[in-house]
Amino acid sequence: MSAAEREAIEIFKRDVVEPSMTALVIVDFWAEWCGPCKALTPVLEKVAADFAAKGVKLVKVNVDEQKFVAAQFQIRSIPTVYAIFQGQPVADLTPARTEAQLGQMLDQILRQLPIQGEAQTLAADIAPLLEMGEEVLGSGDAERALSVFTQIAEMAPDDARAISGQARARIALGQADEAEALLAGLPPELAKDPAIQRAQAALALAREAQPVDDLSGLAASVAANPDDHAARFELAGGQMAAGDREGAADSLLEIIRRERDWNEGAARQRLLKLFEVVGLEDPWVSAQRRRLSAVLFT
Protein backbone atom coordinates (compact mmCIF):
# COMPACT_ATOMS: atom_id res chain seq x y z
CA MET A 1 0.00 0.00 0.00
CA SER A 2 1.38 3.36 -1.01
CA ALA A 3 1.73 6.36 1.28
CA ALA A 4 -1.07 8.10 -0.64
CA GLU A 5 -3.39 5.14 -0.12
CA ARG A 6 -2.60 4.99 3.59
CA GLU A 7 -3.32 8.71 3.86
CA ALA A 8 -6.63 8.26 2.02
CA ILE A 9 -7.64 5.52 4.47
CA GLU A 10 -6.74 7.66 7.46
CA ILE A 11 -8.76 10.56 6.10
CA PHE A 12 -11.74 8.25 5.49
CA LYS A 13 -11.45 6.85 9.02
CA ARG A 14 -11.33 10.36 10.48
CA ASP A 15 -14.15 11.82 8.38
CA VAL A 16 -16.48 8.83 8.03
CA VAL A 17 -15.74 5.77 10.15
CA GLU A 18 -15.14 7.47 13.50
CA PRO A 19 -18.16 9.82 13.29
CA SER A 20 -20.32 6.90 12.18
CA MET A 21 -19.83 5.21 15.54
CA THR A 22 -22.54 7.48 16.94
CA ALA A 23 -23.95 9.28 13.90
CA LEU A 24 -25.35 8.37 10.50
CA VAL A 25 -22.88 9.50 7.84
CA ILE A 26 -24.07 10.12 4.29
CA VAL A 27 -21.17 9.47 1.92
CA ASP A 28 -21.53 11.07 -1.50
CA PHE A 29 -19.14 9.69 -4.13
CA TRP A 30 -18.80 12.35 -6.82
CA ALA A 31 -16.46 14.08 -9.30
CA GLU A 32 -16.02 17.58 -10.70
CA TRP A 33 -16.91 16.47 -14.25
CA CYS A 34 -20.15 14.75 -13.16
CA GLY A 35 -23.20 16.88 -14.01
CA PRO A 36 -25.75 14.73 -12.07
CA CYS A 37 -23.42 14.88 -9.05
CA LYS A 38 -23.48 18.66 -9.08
CA ALA A 39 -27.29 18.66 -9.43
CA LEU A 40 -27.61 16.33 -6.43
CA THR A 41 -25.20 18.25 -4.19
CA PRO A 42 -27.62 21.01 -3.04
CA VAL A 43 -30.28 18.39 -2.28
CA LEU A 44 -27.88 16.38 -0.14
CA GLU A 45 -26.59 19.48 1.63
CA LYS A 46 -30.10 20.75 2.39
CA VAL A 47 -31.33 17.42 3.76
CA ALA A 48 -28.14 16.84 5.76
CA ALA A 49 -28.56 20.27 7.34
CA ASP A 50 -32.22 19.55 8.12
CA PHE A 51 -31.28 16.22 9.75
CA ALA A 52 -28.12 17.41 11.51
CA ALA A 53 -29.86 17.60 14.88
CA LYS A 54 -30.93 13.98 14.41
CA GLY A 55 -27.33 12.83 14.15
CA VAL A 56 -26.82 12.94 10.36
CA LYS A 57 -23.60 14.14 8.72
CA LEU A 58 -22.66 14.54 5.03
CA VAL A 59 -19.20 13.66 3.71
CA LYS A 60 -18.26 14.04 0.04
CA VAL A 61 -15.67 11.73 -1.52
CA ASN A 62 -14.14 12.85 -4.80
CA VAL A 63 -13.56 9.60 -6.73
CA ASP A 64 -10.76 11.16 -8.81
CA GLU A 65 -8.85 12.29 -5.74
CA GLN A 66 -9.64 9.26 -3.56
CA LYS A 67 -9.53 6.42 -6.07
CA PHE A 68 -8.41 3.87 -3.49
CA VAL A 69 -11.42 4.53 -1.24
CA ALA A 70 -13.78 4.47 -4.25
CA ALA A 71 -12.29 1.14 -5.30
CA GLN A 72 -12.88 -0.33 -1.83
CA PHE A 73 -16.57 0.52 -2.19
CA GLN A 74 -16.57 -0.79 -5.78
CA ILE A 75 -17.93 2.47 -7.12
CA ARG A 76 -18.75 1.93 -10.81
CA SER A 77 -20.95 4.95 -11.46
CA ILE A 78 -21.58 8.31 -9.87
CA PRO A 79 -23.29 9.81 -8.08
CA THR A 80 -23.39 6.95 -5.58
CA VAL A 81 -24.62 7.75 -2.09
CA TYR A 82 -24.37 5.44 0.92
CA ALA A 83 -25.53 5.77 4.51
CA ILE A 84 -22.82 4.54 6.90
CA PHE A 85 -23.33 3.56 10.53
CA GLN A 86 -20.59 2.15 12.76
CA GLY A 87 -18.30 1.83 9.79
CA GLN A 88 -20.71 -0.23 7.66
CA PRO A 89 -23.03 0.73 4.79
CA VAL A 90 -26.61 0.40 6.03
CA ALA A 91 -28.46 1.80 3.01
CA ASP A 92 -27.95 2.79 -0.61
CA LEU A 93 -29.43 6.29 -0.93
CA THR A 94 -28.51 6.63 -4.61
CA PRO A 95 -32.08 6.21 -5.92
CA ALA A 96 -33.23 9.28 -3.95
CA ARG A 97 -33.13 12.39 -6.08
CA THR A 98 -35.40 14.80 -4.20
CA GLU A 99 -35.49 16.20 -0.67
CA ALA A 100 -38.73 14.35 0.03
CA GLN A 101 -37.38 10.99 -1.16
CA LEU A 102 -34.13 11.35 0.75
CA GLY A 103 -35.91 12.56 3.87
CA GLN A 104 -38.27 9.57 3.80
CA MET A 105 -35.36 7.15 3.52
CA LEU A 106 -33.45 8.82 6.35
CA ASP A 107 -36.50 8.81 8.63
CA GLN A 108 -36.91 5.09 8.04
CA ILE A 109 -33.23 4.40 8.72
CA LEU A 110 -33.13 6.53 11.87
CA ARG A 111 -36.11 4.68 13.33
CA GLN A 112 -34.11 1.46 13.14
CA LEU A 113 -30.75 2.61 14.49
CA PRO A 114 -29.65 3.65 18.01
CA ILE A 115 -28.49 7.10 16.93
CA GLN A 116 -28.65 9.79 19.59
CA GLY A 117 -28.50 13.23 18.04
CA GLU A 118 -29.71 16.40 19.69
CA ALA A 119 -33.24 15.81 18.42
CA GLN A 120 -33.40 12.27 19.81
CA THR A 121 -32.05 13.41 23.17
CA LEU A 122 -34.60 16.22 23.33
CA ALA A 123 -37.40 13.82 22.36
CA ALA A 124 -36.40 11.49 25.20
CA ASP A 125 -36.35 14.41 27.64
CA ILE A 126 -39.81 15.72 26.75
CA ALA A 127 -41.56 12.35 26.35
CA PRO A 128 -42.44 12.00 30.06
CA LEU A 129 -43.56 15.64 30.17
CA LEU A 130 -45.88 15.10 27.21
CA GLU A 131 -47.35 12.07 28.91
CA MET A 132 -47.84 14.07 32.10
CA GLY A 133 -49.52 16.91 30.21
CA GLU A 134 -51.97 14.53 28.54
CA GLU A 135 -52.79 12.84 31.85
CA VAL A 136 -53.35 16.16 33.61
CA LEU A 137 -55.52 17.46 30.77
CA GLY A 138 -57.48 14.22 30.73
CA SER A 139 -58.11 14.57 34.46
CA GLY A 140 -59.73 17.96 33.90
CA ASP A 141 -56.97 20.23 35.26
CA ALA A 142 -56.62 22.34 32.12
CA GLU A 143 -54.76 25.16 33.90
CA ARG A 144 -51.97 22.87 35.04
CA ALA A 145 -51.93 21.07 31.70
CA LEU A 146 -51.43 24.40 29.92
CA SER A 147 -48.47 25.12 32.19
CA VAL A 148 -46.90 21.72 31.40
CA PHE A 149 -47.39 22.03 27.64
CA THR A 150 -46.07 25.59 27.67
CA GLN A 151 -42.92 24.38 29.44
CA ILE A 152 -42.46 21.72 26.76
CA ALA A 153 -43.01 24.25 23.97
CA GLU A 154 -40.25 26.42 25.44
CA MET A 155 -37.89 23.42 25.20
CA ALA A 156 -39.11 22.29 21.76
CA PRO A 157 -40.90 25.18 19.98
CA ASP A 158 -41.71 23.10 16.88
CA ASP A 159 -43.05 20.04 18.68
CA ALA A 160 -46.55 19.49 17.31
CA ARG A 161 -47.68 17.53 20.37
CA ALA A 162 -46.77 20.38 22.72
CA ILE A 163 -48.54 22.95 20.51
CA SER A 164 -51.57 20.68 20.27
CA GLY A 165 -51.61 20.28 24.05
CA GLN A 166 -51.43 24.04 24.55
CA ALA A 167 -54.32 24.59 22.16
CA ARG A 168 -56.49 21.86 23.66
CA ALA A 169 -55.80 23.10 27.19
CA ARG A 170 -56.82 26.63 26.19
CA ILE A 171 -60.00 25.26 24.60
CA ALA A 172 -60.80 23.44 27.85
CA LEU A 173 -60.28 26.73 29.68
CA GLY A 174 -62.76 28.46 27.39
CA GLN A 175 -60.02 30.30 25.47
CA ALA A 176 -61.00 29.16 21.99
CA ASP A 177 -59.88 32.41 20.35
CA GLU A 178 -56.39 32.09 21.84
CA ALA A 179 -56.21 28.46 20.71
CA GLU A 180 -57.31 29.42 17.19
CA ALA A 181 -54.63 32.13 17.00
CA LEU A 182 -51.98 29.64 18.12
CA LEU A 183 -52.97 27.10 15.46
CA ALA A 184 -53.46 29.69 12.71
CA GLY A 185 -49.84 30.84 12.93
CA LEU A 186 -48.27 27.45 12.21
CA PRO A 187 -46.27 26.73 9.04
CA PRO A 188 -48.11 24.47 6.53
CA GLU A 189 -45.94 21.40 7.11
CA LEU A 190 -46.55 21.55 10.87
CA ALA A 191 -50.28 22.20 10.42
CA LYS A 192 -50.60 18.82 8.69
CA ASP A 193 -49.27 16.92 11.72
CA PRO A 194 -51.86 14.54 13.26
CA ALA A 195 -51.39 16.17 16.67
CA ILE A 196 -52.30 19.56 15.22
CA GLN A 197 -55.25 18.03 13.38
CA ARG A 198 -56.44 16.72 16.73
CA ALA A 199 -56.31 20.23 18.17
CA GLN A 200 -58.13 21.59 15.11
CA ALA A 201 -60.87 19.03 15.67
CA ALA A 202 -61.11 20.09 19.32
CA LEU A 203 -61.44 23.71 18.24
CA ALA A 204 -64.15 22.91 15.69
CA LEU A 205 -66.01 20.89 18.30
CA ALA A 206 -65.74 23.72 20.82
CA ARG A 207 -67.22 26.12 18.28
CA GLU A 208 -70.11 23.71 17.64
CA ALA A 209 -70.77 22.55 21.20
CA GLN A 210 -72.24 25.55 22.94
CA PRO A 211 -72.97 25.49 26.69
CA VAL A 212 -76.58 24.80 27.65
CA ASP A 213 -77.98 26.65 30.66
CA ASP A 214 -80.51 23.97 31.59
CA LEU A 215 -79.13 20.54 30.68
CA SER A 216 -81.59 18.75 32.95
CA GLY A 217 -84.54 20.52 31.36
CA LEU A 218 -83.28 19.68 27.87
CA ALA A 219 -82.75 16.07 28.91
CA ALA A 220 -86.33 15.95 30.21
CA SER A 221 -87.62 17.29 26.89
CA VAL A 222 -85.69 14.60 25.01
CA ALA A 223 -87.03 11.92 27.35
CA ALA A 224 -90.57 13.13 26.67
CA ASN A 225 -90.00 13.12 22.90
CA PRO A 226 -87.21 10.62 22.05
CA ASP A 227 -87.48 11.35 18.32
CA ASP A 228 -86.68 15.04 18.72
CA HIS A 229 -83.19 14.62 17.23
CA ALA A 230 -82.49 18.34 17.08
CA ALA A 231 -83.02 18.63 20.84
CA ARG A 232 -80.91 15.54 21.50
CA PHE A 233 -78.17 16.94 19.26
CA GLU A 234 -78.27 20.19 21.25
CA LEU A 235 -78.13 18.13 24.43
CA ALA A 236 -75.01 16.34 23.14
CA GLY A 237 -73.41 19.71 22.45
CA GLY A 238 -74.19 20.91 25.95
CA GLN A 239 -72.81 17.69 27.42
CA MET A 240 -69.58 18.10 25.48
CA ALA A 241 -69.29 21.72 26.56
CA ALA A 242 -69.72 20.55 30.16
CA GLY A 243 -67.00 17.93 29.74
CA ASP A 244 -69.42 15.00 29.85
CA ARG A 245 -68.10 12.92 26.98
CA GLU A 246 -69.93 9.81 28.18
CA GLY A 247 -73.27 11.58 28.06
CA ALA A 248 -72.46 13.19 24.71
CA ALA A 249 -71.53 9.82 23.20
CA ASP A 250 -74.73 8.27 24.54
CA SER A 251 -76.84 11.07 23.04
CA LEU A 252 -75.15 10.94 19.64
CA LEU A 253 -75.28 7.15 19.47
CA GLU A 254 -79.00 7.26 20.26
CA ILE A 255 -79.60 9.66 17.35
CA ILE A 256 -77.64 7.34 15.05
CA ARG A 257 -79.56 4.31 16.33
CA ARG A 258 -82.90 5.99 15.68
CA GLU A 259 -82.04 7.73 12.40
CA ARG A 260 -78.47 7.37 11.27
CA ASP A 261 -78.76 9.77 8.33
CA TRP A 262 -80.50 12.52 10.27
CA ASN A 263 -79.33 15.96 9.19
CA GLU A 264 -76.90 14.42 6.66
CA GLY A 265 -75.25 12.27 9.31
CA ALA A 266 -74.51 15.16 11.68
CA ALA A 267 -74.56 12.97 14.79
CA ARG A 268 -72.04 10.51 13.38
CA GLN A 269 -69.78 13.31 12.17
CA ARG A 270 -69.82 14.96 15.58
CA LEU A 271 -69.13 11.64 17.30
CA LEU A 272 -66.15 10.93 15.05
CA LYS A 273 -64.83 14.41 15.76
CA LEU A 274 -65.16 13.70 19.48
CA PHE A 275 -63.14 10.50 18.98
CA GLU A 276 -60.39 12.48 17.25
CA VAL A 277 -60.27 15.03 20.05
CA VAL A 278 -60.01 12.40 22.78
CA GLY A 279 -57.38 10.49 20.77
CA LEU A 280 -57.92 7.59 18.42
CA GLU A 281 -55.64 5.34 20.50
CA ASP A 282 -57.51 6.06 23.74
CA PRO A 283 -59.24 2.98 25.26
CA TRP A 284 -62.42 5.01 25.73
CA VAL A 285 -62.53 5.74 22.01
CA SER A 286 -61.99 2.06 21.20
CA ALA A 287 -64.96 1.17 23.39
CA GLN A 288 -67.17 3.83 21.77
CA ARG A 289 -66.13 2.69 18.30
CA ARG A 290 -67.36 -0.79 19.15
CA ARG A 291 -70.67 0.70 20.29
CA LEU A 292 -70.91 2.67 17.05
CA SER A 293 -70.21 -0.45 14.98
CA ALA A 294 -72.89 -2.34 16.88
CA VAL A 295 -75.40 0.41 16.11
CA LEU A 296 -74.47 0.63 12.44
CA PHE A 297 -74.30 -3.08 11.65
CA THR A 298 -77.15 -4.55 13.68
Please give the positions annotated as active site. Answer: 34, 37
Strands (E), the chain: 24-30, 56-62, 80-85, 88-92
30, 79 Cβ separation under 8 angstroms? yes
C-alpha span between 35 and 58 (Å, rounded): 19
How many Cα atoms occupy the beta-carbon half-sphere of 61 within 13 Å? 29
**Helices (H) then strands (E): counts for the chain:** 15, 4
C-alpha span between 134 and 130 (Å, rounded): 6
Q: Which of 149, 153, 263 is nearest to 208 (CA)?
A: 263
SS3 136: helix
